Homo-oligomer: A and B are copies of this chain.
């Protein structure tokens, strides 16, 4: 196997942590000796072993003199729940380390590499760097911009409507598309809705997939006015401790304990505060006011659109005026993937 193939295997392992490593990145590691994999590992959950450590502990023989393939720079800082990996690699006498991406945090980026090199370990960075960036796009964006990554979900007709003029919207898309949308939830750390959506739909915002046993996401509700209905599912169900209120005004009365209530001023500030709470990824599920405001402030990173192959003509559009003056300014999706899910067309891309 080539170095590229070992790194691909590390990334494949990394993906096993998709949706559970928050706020940490997905990392996989492969230890190789005589062109043979002798140990593999990945990071599953914050507070648990990093990928490198799991690979060492998985090894079927002595790791001394082996080569490590890991998609993210091994950590060297001590202010974490787990011991730094770089020191462990040195102690285990690893001979060579291949890394896809450096740590995006400018304060530590390159320090792990430096520590390893000072100990005489040969280090090569940048192997499959693009694939690594893509794998951890959420983590990288959040670390660089110090805010939560925003993934906007929309379910519309072909003419962009999320509801009829009467408000009727359940359901524009079919069963299969709605189940697929739960897989988006399962890959997000938080789900964000406005108070209007809460009032209109009383959504549970939980992951209801067959055989799903993972954690439920944070449920984040925004209010401008500070007036919130109390009798909603997300304030009363089994996961109500995972509901957060973000308000731009002091709350009239709170449906939740005060430590679950936060003030914010503008959407950028909201995303910054979520990042500080270690919530680095949110799926925005409504309504059109929030979606529009996020686009206006250029805070949408990814869009997932489910389109029912139908037309309403008139209705409630998924987006409102974005102030776009020329074709060049339009919100254009890139790196698009698309497929039919049941009777609906799914398209996802980066902004």
What distance in Å separates the Cβ of A349 from its nearest Cβ neighbour in chain B? 6
Q: Which of A158, A318, A349 gathers most chain B CB within 10 Å?
A: A158
What distance in Å separates the Cβ of A291 from its nearest Cβ neighbour in chain B? 9
Find out whether the CB atom of A325 lies under 8 angstroms from the CB atom of B166: yes
Find out whether the CB atom of A347 lies under 8 angstroms from the CB atom of B314: no
Find out whether the CB atom of A331 lies under 8 angstroms from the CB atom of B310: yes
* B contact residues around A160 at 8 Å (CB): 157-161, 317
Find out whether the CB atom of B313 lies under 8 angstroms from the CB atom of A157: no
Name the residue of chain B whose CB is nearest to the CB of A311.
Answer: B331
Find out whether the CB atom of A309 lies under 8 angstroms from the CB atom of B347: yes
Find out whether the CB atom of A324 lies under 8 angstroms from the CB atom of B313: yes
A56 CA to B88 CA, complexed, in Å: 86
Name the residue of chain B whose CB is nearest to the CB of A169.
Answer: B327
Q: Which of A312, A323, A338 gathers most chain B CB within 10 Å?
A: A312
A270 CA to B118 CA, complexed, in Å: 84
The answer to whether the Cβ of A332 comes within 8 Å of any Cβ in the partner chain is yes
Name the residue of chain B whose CB is nearest to the CB of A163.
Answer: B327
Count of chain copies: 2
Find out whether the CB atom of B330 lies under 8 angstroms from the CB atom of A321: no
* B contact residues around A165 at 8 Å (CB): 321
What distance in Å separates the Cβ of A147 from its nearest Cβ neighbour in chain B? 21
Q: Which of A157, A309, A321, A338 gathers most chain B CB within 10 Å?
A: A309
The answer to whether the Cβ of A256 comes within 8 Å of any Cβ in the partner chain is no
What distance in Å separates the Cβ of A297 from its nearest Cβ neighbour in chain B? 13
> Which size bracket describes the interface of A in this complex?
35 or more
Q: A158-B160, A345-B338 are in contact. Are A313 and B309 (CB under 8 A)?
A: no
The answer to whether the Cβ of A164 comes within 8 Å of any Cβ in the partner chain is yes
* B contact residues around A311 at 8 Å (CB): 295, 319, 322, 330-331
Name the residue of chain B whose CB is nearest to the CB of A331.
Answer: B311
The answer to whether the Cβ of A99 comes within 8 Å of any Cβ in the partner chain is no
Q: A311-B295, A340-B338 are in contact. Are A347 and B345 (CB under 8 A)?
A: yes
Contacting A330 at CB < 8 Å: which of B166, B310, B340? B310
The answer to whether the Cβ of A172 comes within 8 Å of any Cβ in the partner chain is yes
Within 8 A of B (CB), among A278-319: 292, 295, 305, 307-315, 317-319
Find out whether the CB atom of A310 lies under 8 angstroms from the CB atom of B332: yes
* B contact residues around A209 at 8 Å (CB): none
Find out whether the CB atom of A323 lies under 8 angstroms from the CB atom of B318: no
The answer to whether the Cβ of A320 comes within 8 Å of any Cβ in the partner chain is yes
* B contact residues around A345 at 8 Å (CB): 338, 345, 347
Q: Which residues of A contact B (CB under 8 A)?
A: 156-161, 164-166, 168, 171-172, 292, 295, 305, 307-315, 317-327, 330-333, 336, 338, 340, 345, 347, 349
A-B CB contact pairs (8 Å), 6 listed: A158-B305, A164-B326, A166-B326, A295-B311, A308-B330, A313-B321
